[in-house]
Chains A and B, each alone.
Chain A
Amino acid sequence: MIVSKSFRWSDPRSITAMAAALTLSLSVQARSDEGVLDTLQLHGFMSQALVISDDNDFFGPSSEGEGSFKFTEIGANASLRPHEDVLLAAQVLSRRAGGDGGDASPKLDYGLIDYQMLSDQQRTLGIQLGRIKNPFGFYNQTRDVAFTRPSILLPQSIYFDRTRSLALTGDGVTLYLEERLPKGVIRGQLGLGAPQAEDDLRQTLRLDRVTGSLDPEQSAIGQIRYEHDGGRIVAALSAANAKVHFNSKAPGLTDGDFYFKPWVFSLQYNQELWSLTAEYALRRSGLENFNDPRLNFDTTGESWYLQYTRRFLDDWQWLVRYDSLTNNRDDTSGKGFEASGLGPAHSQFADDITLGLQWTPHPSLLLAGEYHHVDGTGWLPVQDNPDPSETSRRWNMVLFQLSLRF
């Protein structure tokens, strides 16, 4: 399934064509095999946020006028089981987070075939082929679906937008094994494939003004997840080794290589009315092999958060979270960064205190609001704030979001 770049949600012809194609394929399937069609599921979601900040911009011009409405997520998926061991699934996602409207052009979010070669009371062993969402921490696989998030924004220290494309999906193969133990379930997953490397990564690496291209290379991601006692305690360890080659077209500059080797430790404790969640990440990344030493670097960043969510009155939930990001463990204050003339010290960290509220008056409707008080601009999107020297160190942000799904 390939979605052309020129497609727009607002284009009525595209929508009609898609609806017609869907109806046609449905009716063909209905005639050929009613049993298989019984397993067809269609789901979707849509969310629209309003972002208001006092200083600094987040996802559009949030510090001007009445704020920014440029945070929209729309997705639709279909899944089908043509055979008891086989699952076919694909999702198209349109997401705008600041930037211009072109960013919202729909993309294939995932598209895969999943075959379970073994499934009994003890274990399940399966393989997935295609574009697969990376199991990175607790939230990465469904990070764009508001209903699966505890807050409008996921803890940005780990789920930031700057290298989002790289972390999001891989094109390749994933093997998974789920083993049922006497007191819990352990699931291991290993994926091999090519990550996505889009403009966000290029901008973050400051290669956006160097002619050339980013070409994803063979990368690996793995996760081990243990759920104890029906999910009362959940622990996970995720690790990845993502590689992207930079093909230089700039005169006098050789090719270079980017690597990203994150580790994420995740822990959650669940009770009927509350959950306590913590994640800690060590993110090693760097550029190497450029003949211009100013481009090469190797740093290890550190991220962690602690989050408490409390459910009340059946369909309400409040949240409090402390989230901390350090770009470089060898320069936690950012003073070294500033002294080298690279930018303000406060761009090298971010400590975010978040208070949030969610209300689900109907299973298909979610209303949310939250407040962030942030010290530092470590995860502030570069595209919203092109000049780091014009950012403020301490800033506040309020978000509201309406989400629907089917």
Chain B
Amino acid sequence: MARLTALTLATVMLLTGLSLAGTTATAQDVPVLLVAHPDVATRHLTRDTTRAIFAMRQRTWPDGQAVRVFVLDNDHPVHARFAKEQLSVYPHQLQLAWDRMVFSGTGQAPNRVRNQEEMLERIANTPGALGYLEREYLDDRVQVISME
């Protein structure tokens, strides 16, 4: 019964997709910011480097410090927005890239966090950490990295 309800709901959502698109636009106006541990010396990253780091292909900051990547779950709306808007990749592509690395011995998976509060805590307490947050979750224990 629950499945049927979910299915009906999904169908309704699909059908009303066009009208919903208008309301989600407001949320998308607030950018998701690139956030790092305060000890990280790098202040700016190019989009290509950021993408390489989140794809887990590049393992160090430009100055050689080891980078520790934190991400939210694939279905978290902030993760999807960060991937699409800041990295210009789809979450499923990132997931596939991580799986290919983890199961071929060519790289590691990023560290998963459940929500933005945990993201903030982990970035603040992990040297070399890189993640992303909405502005309202920031505090002075982390720094924002600008991206060209």
Residues of A with C-beta under 8 A to B51 = 230
Closest Cβ–Cβ distance, residue B112 to chain A (whole Å): 9
* Residue A57 CB within 8 A of the other chain: no
From B48, B65, B75, B88, give the contact of A84 (CB < 8 A). B65
Known contacts A180-B52, A185-B48; is A81 also within 8 Å of B59 by CB?
yes
Residues of A with C-beta under 8 A to B60 = 84-85, 116, 119
- A84, B92: Cβ atoms closer than 8 Å: no
Residues of A with C-beta under 8 A to B41 = none
* Residue A33 CB within 8 A of the other chain: no
* Residue B17 CB within 8 A of the other chain: no
Measured in the bound complex, the distance between the Cα atoms of B96 and A270 in whole Å is 12
- A77, B62: Cβ atoms closer than 8 Å: no
Q: Which residue of B lies closest to A111 (CB)?
A: B105
- B105, A79: Cβ atoms closer than 8 Å: yes
Measured in the bound complex, the distance between the Cα atoms of B99 and A148 in whole Å is 7
From B97, B99, B107, give the contact of A87 (CB < 8 A). B107
Residues of A with C-beta under 8 A to B62 = 120-121
Flag the segment in A38-46, A344-352, A375-383 that touches B: A38-46
- A230, B108: Cβ atoms closer than 8 Å: no
Closest Cβ–Cβ distance, residue B83 to chain A (whole Å): 9
Measured in the bound complex, the distance between the Cα atoms of B89 and A112 in whole Å is 29
* Residue A91 CB within 8 A of the other chain: yes
Closest Cβ–Cβ distance, residue A266 to chain B (whole Å): 14
Count of A residues near B, CB < 8 Å? 43
From B46, B75, B89, give the contact of A121 (CB < 8 A). B46
Measured in the bound complex, the distance between the Cα atoms of B95 and A142 in whole Å is 14
Beta-carbon contacts under 8 Å, B114-141 to A: none
Interface residue tally on B, bucketed by range: 35 or more
Residues of A with C-beta under 8 A to B66 = 81, 84
Measured in the bound complex, the distance between the Cα atoms of B75 and A85 in whole Å is 31
- B104, A124: Cβ atoms closer than 8 Å: no
Residues of B with C-beta under 8 A to A132 = 105
Residues of B with C-beta under 8 A to A43 = 102-103, 109
Q: Which residue of B lies closest to A80 (CB)?
A: B108
Closest Cβ–Cβ distance, residue A115 to chain B (whole Å): 11
Residues of B with C-beta under 8 A to A145 = 99, 103
* Residue A89 CB within 8 A of the other chain: yes
Closest Cβ–Cβ distance, residue A258 to chain B (whole Å): 26
From B64, B73, B109, give the contact of A41 (CB < 8 A). B109
Known contacts A81-B108, A84-B59; is A121 also within 8 Å of B103 by CB?
no
Closest Cβ–Cβ distance, residue B57 to chain A (whole Å): 6
Q: Which residue of A lies closest to B45 (CB)?
A: A121
- A147, B105: Cβ atoms closer than 8 Å: no
Measured in the bound complex, the distance between the Cα atoms of B87 and A363 in whole Å is 22
Known contacts A133-B104, A148-B100; is A363 also within 8 Å of B57 by CB?
no
Beta-carbon contacts under 8 Å, B57-96 to A: 57-60, 62, 64-66, 73-75, 87-90, 92-93, 96
* Residue A245 CB within 8 A of the other chain: no
Closest Cβ–Cβ distance, residue B52 to chain A (whole Å): 7
- A185, B52: Cβ atoms closer than 8 Å: yes
- A363, B73: Cβ atoms closer than 8 Å: yes
* Residue A212 CB within 8 A of the other chain: no
Q: Which residue of A lies closest to B6 (CB)?
A: A313
* Residue B16 CB within 8 A of the other chain: no
Measured in the bound complex, the distance between the Cα atoms of B102 and A41 in whole Å is 9
* Residue A141 CB within 8 A of the other chain: yes
Q: Which residue of B lies closest to A93 (CB)?
A: B103
Residues of A with C-beta under 8 A to B52 = 124, 178, 180, 185
Beta-carbon contacts under 8 Å, A169-195 to B: 178, 180, 185
Beta-carbon contacts under 8 Å, A105-143 to B: 110-112, 114, 116, 119-121, 124, 128, 132-133, 141-142
Residues of B with C-beta under 8 A to A39 = 108
Residues of A with C-beta under 8 A to B20 = none
* Residue B23 CB within 8 A of the other chain: no
* Residue A311 CB within 8 A of the other chain: yes
Chain A 229-244 against B: per-residue CB contact (8 Å), 1 yes, 0 no? 1110000000000000
Q: Write the residues of chain B forming the contact surface with A, with a CB cutoff of 8 angstroms.
A: 10, 45-46, 48-49, 51-52, 57-60, 62, 64-66, 73-75, 87-90, 92-93, 96-97, 99-100, 102-109
Extra contacts besides A77-B105, A121-B48 (18): CB < 8 Å: A41-B108, A43-B102, A43-B103, A75-B103, A79-B105, A85-B59, A89-B106, A110-B105, A116-B60, A120-B62, A147-B103, A178-B52, A180-B49, A185-B52, A230-B51, A230-B93, A231-B93, A311-B92
